[in-house]
Structure 1
């Protein structure tokens, strides 16, 4: 699981039928904790299925790979990343 910040939305004109109703977001991965308050982050950009109803600028947790599709089992979704949590606060004390 990685931390990321939402930076935009993705709109599909045509998609696989399993993607019906999908809310897709562009997220930038937080590479280091020192970047957490930087906007834009300048990190890797990923398109992720939004399970949490996030908005632009929200700090989120993303799952990648096979784990990203686990919440949809037994249905199969053609995704490689999903937003699984909206982070309110990060405390490293």
Structure 2
């Protein structure tokens, strides 16, 4: 699981039937430098995330990827590669 930031939403003209009514968001997975504000998010890789929590632009989420992203829908099959598992209120970093 990784932390990501929502940077936009995805609008489709056609959708797979199992995703009908779902919200798809555009998110950037964050590294430690990103959480500290040391890098520019515009240079990062973007992911399309299945979002059942209606996260807004600028919010940070807990991102599940790969086979684990489809587990909340078991036994139903959904073609998702990334899933918003939680909206994060705060993220605290400590120096080690």
TM-score (norm 1): 0.89
SS in 2 for 1:68: helix
* Contact map agreement 1:19 1:77 (CA 8 A) in 2: yes
What is the aligned length? 92
- Aligned ranges for residues 1-93 of structure 1 at < 5 Å? 1-32=1-32, 34-36=33-35, 38=37, 41=41, 42-93=43-94
Structure 1 distance, partners of 2:34, 2:56, is 19
Say what the alpha-carbon RMSD is for the aligned residues.
Answer: 1.6
Question: Which has more radius of gyration?
Answer: 2
Following TM superposition, by how much is the alpha carbon of 1:40 offset from its aligned partner in structure 2, in angstroms?
A: 5.3
Moved over 4 A (4+): none
- Structure 1 residues 59 and 37, CA, compared in 2 at 3 Å: closer, same or farther? farther
TM-score (norm 2): 0.87
Unaligned runs of 5+ in 2: none
Following TM superposition, by how much is the alpha carbon of 1:37 offset from its aligned partner in structure 2, in angstroms?
A: 5.5
Unaligned runs of 5+ in 1: none
